[in-house]
Structure 1
Amino acid sequence: MDHILEHEGDPVPDLGGVTESSKPSGGAAMDVDEDDEDAEALARLGIVKGATDASGSSGGADLEAKSIKCSQCGKVFKNTALANYHAEKSGHDQFEESTEEIKPLTEEERKQKLEELRAKLAEKRSHKAEEEAKEYKANENIRRKQGKDINQLREEIQAKEAIKAAEAKKREKIEEAKAKAAVKAQIEADKKARAEKAAREKALREGKPFPDAGPSNPTPAQAAAAKPSQSGPSRDNPETRLQIRLASGGAPITTTLPSDSPLRHVAEFVAAQSPDIDVDSVSLSQAFPRKTFSAAESSKTLKELGLTPSAALIASW
């Protein structure tokens, strides 16, 4: 635009030679052909020759072309540079010569034109700034949404890790309870064994018979006589063999505990079978005679509850 304003006062090139189409004779034929080629080249640039009559003679040969007019929109341009610029911007391709003279702009008109151009440029810049602001806002919304999704995913991962840690802690607690139950059972068994050993030694010193003492190689008759007595209930049996049927199903589990062990040791043994079982939620019952042991009876020994020397229990939770 600055280039156009700077060359606004330049004279319009003389196109009169282009519009002349008189046919020469003899050796001037080559010059006529060159003029025709120049005219065609100018026609390709969007400049159309002046109107001609039916006989082919120029109707405005005596008129001087002072401007170029767009036949499609009627705008008049001072020179070919402005006409070509208009053709590139508008896509118009039909122009003709015009005798209309374009007066040069005065200083006041030039300033006004510059102000209009500056106003248009400022408007374009403002519009571009608004578009960039909208684009930045959209990108910022996308970035915030992505950040929110990442934070949500991080929170979900942390929640899953917390659940895994809680489950691991629960399994560790159950394993610890199981180990404690095993240690308690071993302590009770050792205590019972030491008591039996002390009682046996005392009976031997005093010359009294020990109830469990007998010949190392009993005769078949003695073994047959002792068999019925062992099959019957005996509250003096140091150990109790238990068969426990779980309410969740499956094969019954068996264990042998000292008869002086409390009923809670049986609940701890059941809870040690699965990490999902809490020892405080285990309930023990007996099918025959039908009986459900209460929480107060968990501290009583197996001997006190009449479960020696063997018993069948049902465990539920």
Structure 2
Amino acid sequence: MSDRETLLSFGFAPERVDWALKATSNAGLQPALDHLEQHQDDPVPDLTAVIPGKGAAQPEDDDEDDEATAIAASTGAEAKSIKCSECGKIFKNTALANYHAEKSGHDQFEESTEEIKPLTEEEKKVKLQELRERMAEKRKVKDKVDAEDQRKNEDIRRKAGRDAGYIKEELRAKETIKAAEQARRDKIEDAKAKAAVKAQIEADRRARAEKSAREKALREGKVYDAEAGAEHAAPAPAAASASASMGMKSKDYPETRLQIRLANGGPYTTTLSSDAPLSEVAEFIAAQNLAFDADRVTLSTHFPRKTFTQADMRRTLRELGLTPSAVLIAS
């Protein structure tokens, strides 16, 4: 059985067997097996371009043959092998010696009369078994490395997935907080806009009331005091004027001046129509201080001591006896 047939019976691909035999210049079964083991993971090159190189036998030139012949003639013995002077190994021919030199780095060789017997079928089987065991061990190590790399890649992928999930959850939480803050700001802006509209309406109401009072005073020949919001007869004596002032009742005041004291801020002052409900005071406080809610603010007075209820919020300042001025406590 030829070396090629032997290698093919081992299960090697034909193209790799041809590559190994050509690269080693058909130096024998062992060099071919070594070549197959060393290049098992390398792609097979174009065999037409393969030139015997590293590990390959170099053509023996005529000078070497002449030298071997001369040495054999001078010693009277035929050279049957080549021996490595550094490690003592013997080789059947120059190709195997060159292969050993390339592989080991040894460069001291001599001819020997020792004859290398060809491998028996049993020795070939042993070497084949050793090669198979070495290759199986290499595959086992490679499979273990590949499995470890796959496990690490899977861990990286899972960690990336967890990080991405955490980032998405954090972004959702931030968006929720942002939306809540925006809703709070919108509510505050709505409250301010509502309070501004009501304040403008109240200012227009006071202006109309003042205009009506001034026109009424003119028709009756009286002088209208814009600061006091009262009418006085022009020629009336001082005593009559004083009597009129003393006799003026709370219902005669069109406006009410309020001072509002807060537990955590203020005080604030404002002037509202005496016919305005107490709820407008709560809305005014909520517009000035964001810590207060117009629907939950509690109003009270010290003198006399009184706490207004939700029902009182619908009553006017005049009905609650807060005209022409009052001090309120907000909490």
C-alpha separation in 2, matches of 1:19 and 1:273 = 121
Aligned residue number for residue 254 of structure 2: 238
Encode CA deviations 1:53-90: one digit per residue, 9 max, x unaligned.
xxxxx9x8857361324755x65443454445445555
Native 8 Å contact 1:69 1:98 kept in 2: no
Q: Is the 8 A contact 1:8 1:78 kept in 2?
A: no
Q: Distance in 2 between matches of 1:78 and 1:184?
A: 115
Query: Closer, same or farther in 2 for the Cα pair 1:202/1:92, shift >3 Å?
Result: same
State the TM-score, normalized to the length of structure 1. Answer: 0.62
* Secondary structure, counterpart of 1:272 in structure 2: helix
Alignment of 1:11-50 (within 5 A): none
Query: Structure 1, residues 247-305: CA drift from partner, whole Å, max 9, x if none?
Result: 223x5222222222222221211111244543333233334444443444333322233
Q: How many residues align?
A: 271
Inter-CA distance 225–257: structure 2 relative to 1 (3 Å threshold):
same
The question of whether the paired residues in 1 share the 8 Å contact of 2:250 and 2:321 is answered with: no
- CA RMSD after TM alignment: 4.9
Q: Is the 8 A contact 2:27 2:96 kept in 1?
A: no
- Matching of residue 159 in structure 1 with residue 173 in structure 2: yes
Asked whether 1:7 is paired with 2:23, we answer no
Aligned residue number for residue 248 of structure 1: 264
**Does structure 2 conserve the Cα–Cα contact (< 8 Å) formed by 1:239 and 1:257?**
yes
For residues 161-240 of structure 1, the aligned pairs below 5 Å read 161-187=175-201, 212-214=230-232, 229=245, 234-240=250-256
Q: Say which is worse superposed, 160-169 or 78-87, in terms of deviation.
A: 78-87
For the 8 Å contact 1:185–1:261, the answer to whether it is kept is no
Aligned match of 1:279: 294
- Alpha-carbon deviations, 1:132-176, whole Å to 9, x = none? 343233123213322322332232223212222222222222322
For the 8 Å contact 1:15–1:65, the answer to whether it is kept is no
Please say which of residues 221-230 and 141-150 is displaced more in the overlay.
221-230
List gaps (5 residues or longer) in structure 1.
Answer: 21-57
User: Following the alignment from structure 1 to structure 2, what is the Cα–Cα distance between the partners of residues 301 and 235?
Assistant: 11
CA contact (8 A) 1:66 1:99 kept: yes
Question: Residue 117 and residue 284 in structure 1: after superposition, are their counterparts in 2 closer, same or farther (change >3 A)?
Answer: same
**In 2, Cα distance between equivalents of 1:242 and 1:166:** 34
* Structure-2 change in CA distance of 1:61 and 1:276 (3 Å): farther
Q: Residue type of the partner of 1:8?
A: G
Identity %: 58
Mean Cα deviation higher: 278-287 or 155-164 = 278-287
Q: Secondary structure at the match of 1:245?
A: strand
In structure 2, relative to structure 1, the CA distance for the partners of 1:105 and 1:311 (3 Å cut) is: same
Q: After superposition, what is the alpha-carbon deviation per residue over 1:2-33, rounded to whole angstroms, capped at 9, x for unaligned?
A: 4448212899977976997xxxxxxxxxxxxx
Higher deviation after alignment, 286-295 or 235-244? 286-295
- The alignment status of 1:148 with 2:162, answered yes or no, reads yes
Larger RCO: 1 or 2 (CA < 8 Å, sep 6+): 1
**Secondary structure, aligned partner of 2:114:** coil
Q: How does 1:27-106 map to 2 (within 5 A)?
A: 62=77, 64=79, 66-69=81-84, 71-72=86-87, 75-86=89-100, 89=103, 98-106=112-120
Q: Secondary structure at the match of 1:137?
A: helix
- CA offset at residue 190 of structure 1? 5.3
State how far apart, in whole Å, the 2-side matches of 1:185 and 1:147 are.
56
SS in 2 for 1:281: coil
Check 1:105–1:303 CA distance in 2 against 1; reply closer, same or farther (3 A cut): same
- Report the TM-score, using the length of structure 2 for normalisation: 0.60
Letter in 2 for 1:272: A
Q: Work out the CA distance in 1 between the residues paired with 2:191 and 2:96.
A: 98
- Tell me how far 1:213 sits from its aligned partner: 3.2
| Unmatched segments (≥5 aa) in structure 2 | 1-19, 30-56
